[in-house]
Structure 1
């Protein structure tokens, strides 16, 4: 991959301050969404809504990731990645305030705004990493992915204790502290940049549209398979284990924790493997580990701790590999931005279908069982394996 020409102030970005800004932004890119889960019963009781409406508080942001990716990409190209990130953080903060303000409409609109604000960060951070840290992009993508999972774990751990003393509204709004901190540090790290996107050298060929390239579609389907599996399993894994293994709520919660916590390990280790070998070899354990969870639960459910651990590490590593591949397939910041928006737009749309489709399939079977839903997840992860392997092989041979 060739890198874009840097503006004269780019040297100000290659500093620990920008790395700190990226880490703080990453803490905000999943935590505000998963924070709802531990207090969903309190939200339902307070707002007087059904389980289906309450479920929108976690599913709407994923749908926003898909629908808001094209306009977020346009915004980044229009005003530059640095300013766009600040706009995204402002939208995220406004959504968090509105979600906790009052009423069902405010909660839903605020949730949609949170998703839209996060979407900007989803695209900006990989673009900044690829543009300003080309020789460390894999490692920083791993740190970025790991930090998103750490942000999720922080909110999952702290929301209930905070809500016990202040109520769910204050508990959810309290994470604005992280959003404000991210905005301040981001501004300090990028304040000397004039704005606007780093463009290719004058003699470079025009940016290629990702939808005209086979590798773009392969990465879209790979990320779609990963997103479908991740969000579907995140939503239903505790209930699957309760039904298949008779686990109580606490034990099922441990399984979900393994699936989330081990993502940090996968996100940090996968770039090291890719650096020493190749993206293609780094992708093999990702595909195998993710396939192990639905396949293992179908064939040997008693080994669920092993399957949850393997898939957890794989889902963290898979995110890193796919967006490292987006960087490797892009010649400059413009192509990287468009590729990231294209892959995320289609991929998250598939991911948003996961929880709903698995629940619908489960209820359609008589008597209700999990074999068919797990087979559906297995099929989605086969798409991840096949499309991802083809994408990294194509990049390697370009």
Structure 2
């Protein structure tokens, strides 16, 4: 009998392509949900307060809870990812997000707060791990995928801000209106679960840092890059969450209807959809990166100045300027995703900047709410935000000075 020679069967390229496509779709679906629950709560804050009757302290705390959860849960993301694996950790996070948003259907203050804590803790894990997953699965397309998922994130924020009030009216209560946003989170969980269950023949295992690859986030804090990225991330998040959490209330306080105020917030968040790609394209070189950081921070500063001096004169203009300022988020994420020698260092920098950064960011919405309650107006809160926007501009220039 003649000998039969067998050769290894190569891994089918279409299978890898399909897996990569499903991974990209799953990442984008998760990104879509990263702001839905937050933006809808901001647009419905006044309606929730009227319906549930909670105190001014709770009203100030509600926009602050996401940042606190991001800081607390984000600090433990690296340890959880080493135990479960990055992909399973993201799956657990999206399930927690879905459950938290659904719990807010109960028309009670305790359910609103508990659901927010659970859902935002899930978001914290996704926030930290998405840059690592993008770098691991798409190492040659980090800029493209970062632009796509931050654009999708902005699209979700815009959608929730624009339709939260009509949706709540259609379902009969602001609490049920918040819970509606658990449905897209459930879809994202299902797609990510399907992607996580796929094992492509010959493909590398899911990105999970081994014990030998562990890098402490606190070691990154002692580096110039770690300190500046953390400071910039915290300041941009403080400004973003303060203004998105309170902008509808600020405009309503000056006589604008709740629906119209939600649309203005949607405009601010929609601006980042087309602009993010242009900003990331500009930031590919050192000089472009410096101009991009300076430009978005200056736009935020100008938008805040307009809201302080004449909020009702040109609200859409101020919203566009604020929206340009919100593009600082994809910029700093791109810096994180491209930094370090591998996924372990990227995770360490992401954990450091997001845990400490969101802890700093939590002061923004809380301070704005307390200052508004104490003074009965919006001048003092906007003066505070002008100062933090100026600090963001200074740190951004320092971060890009001499950066290769």
TM-score tier, shorter chain, comes to 0.7 to 0.9
CA RMSD, 1 decimal: 3.1
Spell out the pairing of 1:202-217 with structure 2 (5 A cutoff): 209-217=219-227
- Once the two structures are superposed, what CA deviation does each residue of 1:165-222 show, in whole Å capped at 9, x if it has no partner? 433344333323212221222123332274451569x9x9967732121211111111
Shift of 1:295: 3.2
- 1:306 corresponds to 2:317: yes
8 Å contact kept, 2:61–2:366: no
- 1:373 corresponds to 2:381: yes
Within the candidate set 212, 217, 228, 2:238 is matched to 228
8 Å contact kept, 1:91–1:116: yes
Shift of 1:297: 4.4
Within the candidate set 341, 344, 356, 1:331 is matched to 341
- 1:248 corresponds to 2:253: no
Spell out the pairing of 1:65-144 with structure 2 (5 A cutoff): 65-101=70-106, 103-144=108-149
- Once the two structures are superposed, what CA deviation does each residue of 1:316-356 show, in whole Å capped at 9, x if it has no partner? x2111111111232211111111111111122122221122
- Larger gyration radius, structure 1 or structure 2: 2
8 Å contact kept, 2:60–2:365: no
C-alpha separation in 2, matches of 1:207 and 1:339: 9
Structure 1: which 5+ residue stretches go unaligned?
Answer: 1-8
- Once the two structures are superposed, what CA deviation does each residue of 1:23-53 show, in whole Å capped at 9, x if it has no partner? 1001111102222234445544554433432
Spell out the pairing of 1:15-26 with structure 2 (5 A cutoff): 15-26=20-31
- 1:258 corresponds to 2:264: no
C-alpha separation in 2, matches of 1:318 and 1:133: 22
C-alpha separation in 1, matches of 2:135 and 2:193: 19
Aligned to 2:192: 186
C-alpha separation in 2, matches of 1:49 and 1:300: 30
Structure 2: which 5+ residue stretches go unaligned?
Answer: 1-12
C-alpha separation in 1, matches of 2:93 and 2:189: 9
- Once the two structures are superposed, what CA deviation does each residue of 1:39-83 show, in whole Å capped at 9, x if it has no partner? 445544554433432554433122101111111232123222111
Shift of 1:11: 5.3
Aligned to 1:6: none
Q: Secondary structure at the match of 1:91?
A: helix
Cα gap change, 1:236 to 1:28, in 2 (>3 Å): closer
Q: Secondary structure at the match of 1:275?
A: coil
Spell out the pairing of 1:58-69 with structure 2 (5 A cutoff): 58-69=63-74
Cα gap change, 1:101 to 1:253, in 2 (>3 Å): closer
Within the candidate set 269, 272, 276, 1:267 is matched to 276
- 1:289 corresponds to 2:295: no
Residues paired across the two proteins, number: 381
Q: Tell me the TM-score normalised to structure 1 length.
A: 0.84
Shift of 1:162: 3.6
- 1:389 corresponds to 2:400: no
- Once the two structures are superposed, what CA deviation does each residue of 1:119-147 show, in whole Å capped at 9, x if it has no partner? 11111111111222222212221221121
8 Å contact kept, 2:90–2:129: yes
Shift of 1:299: 6.2
